[in-house]
Chain A
């Protein structure tokens, strides 16, 4: 009876989504009056910190051949057996949601993905998630004693609540992966979109890729990640991984600034779980204003640089 949290790492670095999952697992363990443990694959040099977010023990698996659903499923379940877990928490990242289902299937456990708040244990395990593109919230009950939950990003505010622990090697040897990872290409430096707390996004109103400088300036001033609408990605003005919306990435940052994006329902489907939405558009009838918290009607080529200046002024006064 304990909680196990899978921690995703990139070259040994623990992602924010991993710390969120860790702290979420810690809160669940506290609710159930039990302990919380972590498991990760590969380099554990920076994993001591997991103790600060509630891990009683941290296990690492000596494996660095890249992501494979089968290997990750077996490894996590081996760790679950070691710590006697009955709940497994996995962050709802690309890789997390790619093997959470396999973990549940092999464990014969109920699974709910993209959970957005702490469970309730009064009558079975009840959890909530956002459904129908953010247009409703569903409450689920898991009827099995074991459960797998994936945690939606930016659903929980993490806090340090313990002290560092020394990772130990899990007594389990992975076999050869069936999926061979040949190459991995990621853009350096920036926070990946699904994890970003602040996002500056722009659309066709920008008129052309050569005008993106003002968007990047604003993003830089805020230390935000840049995103774009579908037409912009489709015409090749911006890379595809920046495309947010129904067919792109779905995000829920704390702040989403939409510049020159009209707010088609397919775009809103990917962003309307954002905590605060700012819309800048020259068309006062743009549908996005209906979903916004703050709106500015005006020429974006005038408004955006002014906003950037205001942000810089604010930052330097802090």
Chain B
């Protein structure tokens, strides 16, 4: 089976956030980037496991410039067979989904996997846009993914619980925590990753539907008000009168 896994880079959670070009652009200077954890720990590792069990090929796909090659090589080191990078920095999820849809039309995949969201914008819509553009069924927030024949059985998160559903491939599935265990690339993986194919493709023309006008940093917290363990009545009064939350 052929599996396509969408991977993207995000700033590490601990990064300080700043902006440039009159607060219109995210400032990547001095930021350490990582592979989006949902893409890496869950989607990519589960794809590799499925191919280990059933045979086949795992291809990663990334929309972005050459600064993404570091995380793409990491994906290859973890165990992907080859990689595609579409050479444009997308301005919105719709654009990334559109480029991935165009590229994946060239070769049929039995399954397209991606993380449930990226940890920077938390949009979580790329998967459903991609599925719609490719006319494929979509299951989101999958914490468990099993394959039997052509049927995928998926456990997915819902408010306060879970749902078990089934779908015939090909399909698009977004991965949440629980789908797989993180894999650390070993030395052999790192060495072979350098010779695995990374195909850079030119983007297809796209008209942006949405643009960022500006970023703003939230105002500083006014500071914490400390109370002693004997002042619980005061705390409740503050929550009622000052914070107005109870």
Q: Identify the A interface with B (CB < 8 A).
A: 15, 66-70, 73, 93-95, 97-102, 104-106, 109-114, 126, 131-144, 178-187, 190, 192-195, 197-198, 222, 240-241, 246-248, 250, 254-255, 265-266, 269, 275-276, 278-279, 289-299, 302-303, 306-307, 309-311, 313-314
Flag B26-39 by CB within 8 Å of A: 1 or 0 each.
Answer: 00000000000100
Interface band, chain B = 35 or more
Q: Distance in Å from the Cβ of A306 to the closest Cβ of chain B?
A: 4
Q: Which of A73, A136, A240 contacts B178 (CB 8 A)?
A: A240
Task: Report whether B243 and A178 are in contact in the complex, using a CB–CB cutoff of 8 Å.
Answer: no
> What are the nearest 3 A-B pairs in CB distance?
A186-B161, A101-B125, A101-B128
Q: Contact at B93–A98, with CB atoms within 8 Å? A: no
Min C-beta distance of B23 to chain A, whole Å: 9
Docked CA distance A193–B93 (Å): 27
- Residues of chain B from 1 to 49 with CB closer than 8 A to chain A in the complex: 11, 13-14, 17, 19, 37
Residue from B133, B137, B178, B209 with most neighbouring chain A CB atoms (10 Å): B209
A178 touches B225 (CB 8 A): no
A interface SS class: mixed
Tell me the dominant secondary structure on chain B's binding face.
Answer: mixed
8 contacts between A and B (CB under 8 A): A101-B128, A110-B92, A241-B160, A295-B226, A297-B226, A298-B228, A314-B236, A314-B246
Would you give the 0/1 interface string for B104-131, flagging 1 where the beta carbon is closer than 8 Å to chain A? 0000000000000001111111111101
A190 to B171, CA, bound (A): 34
CB contacts (< 8 Å) of A95 on chain B: these are 158
**Nearest residue in A to B207 (C-beta to C-beta)?**
A143
Taking CB atoms, residues of chain A closer than 8 Å to B124 are: 97-98, 113
A310 close to B129 (CB less than 8 A)? no
Collect the chain B residues with CB atoms within 8 Å of residue A240's CB.
143, 177-178
The answer to whether B235 and A296 touch across the interface, beta carbons within 8 angstroms, is yes
* CB pair A250 B165 closer than 8 Å: no
Interface set of B (CB-CB < 8 Å, partner A): 11, 13-14, 17, 19, 37, 92-94, 97, 119-129, 131-133, 137-141, 143, 153, 156-168, 171, 177-178, 208-218, 221-222, 224-233, 235-240, 243, 245-246
Among A67, A70, A105, A194, max chain B CB count under 10 A is at A105
- Is B239 a contact of A278 with CB atoms below 8 Å? yes
Given contacts A194-B159, A255-B246, A293-B225, contact A104 B125 (CB under 8 A): yes
